[in-house]
Amino acid sequence: METDYSLQFRFIREHHAPFFHYGDRPKTTRLAISSTYGIVAISDTEGQLDSGFTDVLEKRQYKNPEVGRMWQEERDYDYDTKKSLPKPGCNSDGRVIAIDATTEKGSFIYLYDAAVLAPNLNIVAYAVNKIKLADPMPVEPVQKKSPKKSRWDSRSDSSRSEYYREPELKTKITTLEWNPIISHMFAAATDETLFIILFDLEDALNHRILAKTDTTAPITALSWNPVGTQLTVGDAEGRIYQFNPQLKLIRTVNPPDLIPSVFAEKFVCSGLCWVSKTERIVVFSSETSDKLHLTKLTVKPNKPPKWTIWDVLPAAESTEYGKTFTFLPVFKWNTVLMSSSCLSEVYTFGVVNNVWKPLKLDDRFTIKTPLYKGQKTFITSMSINYSSQKSVNIGSEFPNMPPQPVVYLTTTHDKVLVYHLVSLDANRPILFKPAQMIDKDNIKNGPASRESYAFYTDSDSDVQETNYFSERDSLDDSYSDDGDDDNDMYGNNYISDDGRDAYRNDYGFNNRKAKTRGPSVCTRKKGISTGIDTRNGEVQANLDDDDDDTSDEATILKLQEEIARLQESILQTNNQRAKSTCIRLRNMGKLSAAGVLEVYAAENERFHRIIDIGNRWTAMYRGDAKLVAEMKRLNCELSADEFVAAVLSTLDKPQSKKFSLDPGNSLEVEANALSEAEKTVLEVVCSAMTCKFVTV
């Protein structure tokens, strides 16, 4: 193993999983994170779904540090009876969460708008789409032995026997993997079939099975290549396959000759991660042996496959929870994390001299699961949050440490572990991206919903909870720009349950006060409701029909006070968002006129692959939703040619690379250094990035 002390896991805190359980054996849980919204979704063996905000879960201090209730209790959502542990997973743009589960009705994938799981929304979460991949086995149900009839059971013996029959399952979903680049594509496998499925949240009621193929052995592991153009697959007989997205087989690789000698009987591919163009990390295990075999497969054109043996894993520490391996790539840092349901430690891989190898970290800064009643625990899932703004206290040697990713893990005994993944290498890029605000008007909730959204409130309080939302400034890499949001179809109308509101407020689930999370604000007082949109400054105020006792003068005074308060909150919100963006650009060394343009173009998920700069900005001028919206709002009258010419001229000017005159709060440049068209372009782009632009 290669030593690397520039990577550290720094412990933040340990949480109890949110689900209440009886008995000595806790429930097994799995989680997924949407960095886009800063939401953690967690599921358990009985199919309960819960959620929490990452910034709340990452706090070090609150009243009861060991058992503080930081979760939305037992989230209501539509789901069939489960027969397997659901496995949530988030797509590459953080807007969709998929839960694959085998139920008594078959094997399904449930797809949710991630925003609907926001803990401060009091709604039933409906899947926007439910994809059935397999049916129950069409056989006669087996009659189970009826329990002893009780005195109060009036049913006949035959009816009680019928009640205990269960359908047998023909097949189950073994694994699911979202494409790391194409946000609307994922691969899924059952015991018998491999699927490539397309799903676009903007056309949520529909999905397309792009390709499927039957397999000779159950698929046990999936991994896309880092650019999302090909798929590698491992099966229960140890073979490795490579496919394109249309599932055209490119190559088959048999396991290394060493494996049959290590495992005398059947062995399987238990884990797989495609880490570079030619390299894949592969783990083999066997049902009849505790040995774990970690290898690297190197495949180059016109050359035979090469296997490299990494003898770094201990024997499986438990077989109770299976021998599955989870890989968490952080490719911008040339780093991959690996955990397993049969190991109590996280393993790290990285690039050393252009070759992927296992890394040895400082023993003080590794991840090892806590003991449960003196027994080891194991990792059931792992995910990462890139939107964390929590500071990292490294010491005087690193006084200006930028925000670092946060790794979340669930264990086999009811724990959620939270760690900073810290890089001390200044050459690694900053991965931080602030969470977007949720636009409640564009939340997509499944076709079954017909109620209205309601927020947590306290009916005994004069001033009820303020909830902050913003218009979602994003355009995902979907099929077209003209997708329609049918709000009625997706159910934007829910009915509040006052009893549930009061219950959850008792546990403090709705404590997201005026730490402003976005520029569009909705609030309610008794007798009035007001709203303000920070993008155009419009304020709306309405009287509640049932507040007949409020005089006109008192109502007007209340409205004036409320509008003034909202306007002040908006100023604070905009300043906070602008400051956050400035910090990110400053840490990247890009807080300059040219730097802002470079970062915006590089981070554009839809058009960043267009190599020519002029062509990329032309495409963005016509098709980037944020840019188009800001040009319209700011009344930008530049044509496409004029806009792109101003961009190119700004990038070419040496003075455009000068750092901002006010690096703490805005991009501030000298007015005489830029033409009017160049200043217009920078104003539009800075506004799209939520960064203040000032000329002096």
Rounded Cα distance between 624 and 605, Å, is 10
Nearest to 268 by CA among 233, 310, 309: 233
Does 2-135+170-423 carry CATH code 2.130.10.10? yes
Phi, psi of 377 (to 5 degrees): -115, 165
Please give the Cα distance from 587 to 399 (Å, whole number). Answer: 13
Query: 8-12, 49-53, 260-264, 317-321: which has the highest mean pLDDT?
Result: 8-12
State both tokens at 283. Answer: 């783990």
Q: In terms of pLDDT, which residue wins out, 96 or 504?
A: 96
Q: Indicate whether 275 pLDDT > 70.
A: yes
End-to-end Cα separation, the chain, in angstroms: 55
Answer yes or no: is pLDDT of 651 > 50: yes
Please report, for residues 260, 589, 618, the alpha-carbon distance to residue 218 in angstroms, rounded to integers and kept in the order given: 19, 49, 47
Percent of the chain with pLDDT strictly greater than 90: 36
Cα distances (Å, whole numbers) of residue 37 to 51, 113, 433, 643, 678: 12, 11, 10, 32, 33
The reported pLDDT for the residue numbered 441 is 83
What pLDDT does 384 receive? 96
Handedness of CA 622, 184, 381, 41 (dihedral sign): positive
pLDDT bucket at 60, cuts 50 / 70 / 90: low
User: Torsions phi, psi of 252, nearest 5?
Assistant: -125, 135
Mean pLDDT of 492-502: 31
The pLDDT, as a whole number, for residue 505 is: 30
State which of 58-62, 308-312, 483-487 shows the largest mean pLDDT: 308-312
Q: What is the mean pLDDT of residues 488-509?
A: 30
Pairing status of strand 355-360 against strand 2-3: parallel
Instruction: Tell me the backbone φ, ψ of residue 208, rounded to 5 degrees.
Output: -135, 130
Q: What is the pLDDT of residue 549?
A: 47
Residue 368: is its pLDDT beyond 90? yes
**Letter for the amino acid at 206?**
N
What's residue 417's pLDDT? 94
Q: How far apart are CA 222 and CA 71, in angstroms?
A: 31
Q: With 60 as the cut, is the pLDDT of residue 104 above it?
A: yes
Q: What is the pLDDT of residue 663?
A: 66
The encoded tokens of residue 277 equal: 């163009």
> What mean pLDDT is predicted for residues 143-160?
46
What is the maximal distance between C-alpha atoms in the chain? 93
In terms of Cα–Cα distance, which of 612, 589, 591 is closest to 601?
A: 612
Domains of the chain by residue range: 2-135+170-423, 444-576, 589-695
Mean pLDDT, to the nearest integer, of 140-163?
Answer: 46
**What is the per-residue pLDDT for 352?**
92
Over the Cα atoms of the chain, what is R_g?
27
Segment 429-436 mean pLDDT: 90
- % of the chain at pLDDT higher than 70: 71
Residue 75 has pLDDT above 50, yes or no: no
Measure the CA–CA gap between 223 and 281, rounded to whole angstroms.
10
Residues in CB range of 552: below 8 A, 6 or more apart: none
Confidence of residue 111 (pLDDT cuts 50, 70, 90): very high
133 three-state secondary structure: strand
pLDDT confidence of residue 602: 85
Decide: helix, strand or coil at residue 671: helix
**Can you read off the two tokens belonging to residue 475?**
């355009």
What would the mean pLDDT of 271-291 be, rounded to a whole number?
A: 93
231 compared with 514, residue with greater pLDDT: 231
| Residue 502: predicted pLDDT | 31
State residue 428 phi and psi, 5-degree precision: -75, 135
Q: In whole numbers, what is the pLDDT of the chain averaged over residues?
A: 76
Cα gap 78→97, rounded to integer Å: 14
Nearest to 531 by CA among 507, 567, 495, 573: 567
How far CA 199 is from CA of 124, 449, 558, in Å, comes to 22, 20, 47
Predicted confidence at residue 137, as pLDDT, reads: 58
Instruction: Encode pLDDT of 177-218 as tens digits.
Output: 999 999 999 999 988 899 999 999 988 888 999 999 999 999
User: Regarding beta strands 240-243 and 193-199, do their DSSP bridges make them parallel or antiparallel, or are they unpaired?
Assistant: unpaired
For 77, which DSSP code?
B
Q: What is the pLDDT of residue 535?
A: 42
Please give the torsion angle defined by the CA atoms of residues 528, 533, 537 and 543, in that order, rounded to the nearest 10 degrees. Answer: -10
pLDDT band at 35 (very low <50, low <70, confident <90, very high): very high
Q: What are phi and psi of 616, to 5 degrees?
A: -65, -45
In this prediction, residue 574 has a pLDDT band, given cuts at 50, 70 and 90, of low
Model confidence, pTM? 0.63
pLDDT reading at 380 higher than 50? yes
- What CA–CA distance (Å, rounded) separates 235 from 146? 39
Residue 554 has pLDDT above 80, yes or no: no
**Separation of alpha carbons 283 and 324, rounded Å:** 9
